[in-house]
């Protein structure tokens, strides 16, 4: 999607007072350094979007104001948070895994595997689809600025001894930040 363009959902079928969104992967999205983000559906008190996290991406753990329920549609990725002692903990998440994180908890993701991973995110919110889409565009601009200012969003941007690269070598059998010569 280019800036200033309205995103139109594809395959939105009204069924009485309900709607069915056919094929979440066919929806328009915005490519960001955190992956391709696609607004999906909004309700009175809920909203949903999808992120396709591309192979080799890294997102440092950071808190969100709202709680989320996340379902992994496809691919594998690494979820990162902190334990009760403030130590980083990581676990591999795969297809059909569903998890919850509360608002205010620092969470991050890493994609050390060769394949992309698609996740469905459902969280509280009362904005319209258009407001959700505009928020994603705003997030892209904010993330681009962070990346330009040196925030790492890819394994290649991390030091070789970074815990994410060390864990990636264990679970993926390779270092996703190593540059092929």
- Count of residues making up the chain: 181
Per the CB < 8 A criterion, the answer to whether 69 and 102 are in contact is: no
The model carries a pTM of 0.85
Look at residue 1 and tell me whether its pLDDT is greater than 80: no
Q: What is the pLDDT of residue 108?
A: 93
Residue 7 has pLDDT above 80, yes or no: no
Residue range 148-170: mean pLDDT, rounded:
96
The full set of domains in the chain, from first to last, is 12-172 (2.60.120.10)
Q: How confident is the model at residue 75 (pLDDT cuts 50, 70, 90)?
A: very high
Summarize pLDDT for 20-69 with one digit per residue, the tens. 888 888 899 999 999 999 999 888 899 999 999 999 999 999 998 988 99
pLDDT at 99: 87
pLDDT of residue 25: 87
pLDDT tens digit string along 118-158? Answer: 999 999 889 999 999 999 999 999 999 999 999 999 999 99
Q: Which residues lie closer than 8 Å to 23 by C-beta, 6 or more apart?
A: 10, 11
What are the φ and ψ backbone dihedral angles of 44, each rounded to 5 degrees? -70, -40
Give the whole-angstrom CA distance, residue 166 versus residue 180.
Answer: 18
Confidence of residue 12 (pLDDT cuts 50, 70, 90): confident
Residue 129's alpha-carbon distances to 6, 38, 102, 161, in angstroms, are: 11, 11, 23, 42
């Amino acid at each position: 999607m280019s800036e200033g363009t309205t995103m139109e959902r594809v395959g939105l079928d009204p069924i009485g007072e309900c709607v069915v969104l056919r094929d979440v992967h066919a929806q328009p999205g915005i490519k960001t350094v955190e992956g391709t983000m696609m607004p999906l559906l909004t309700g009175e008190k809920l909203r949903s979007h999808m992120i396709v996290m591309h192979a080799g991406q890294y997102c440092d753990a950071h808190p969100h104001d709202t709680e989320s329920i996340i379902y992994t549609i496809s691919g594998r990725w690494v979820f990162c948070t902190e334990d009760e002692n403030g130590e980083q903990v990581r676990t591999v998440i795969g297809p059909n895994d569903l998890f919850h994180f509360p608002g205010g908890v620092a969470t991050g993701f890493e994609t050390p595997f060769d394949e992309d991973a698609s996740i469905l995110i459902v969280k509280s919110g009362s904005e319209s689809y258009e407001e959700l889409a505009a928020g994603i565009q705003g997030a892209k601009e904010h993330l681009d600025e962070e990346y330009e200012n040196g925030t790492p969003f890819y394994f290649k941007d991390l030091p070789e001894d970074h815990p994410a690269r060390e864990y990636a070598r264990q679970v993926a059998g390779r270092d996703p930040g190593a540059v092929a010569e």
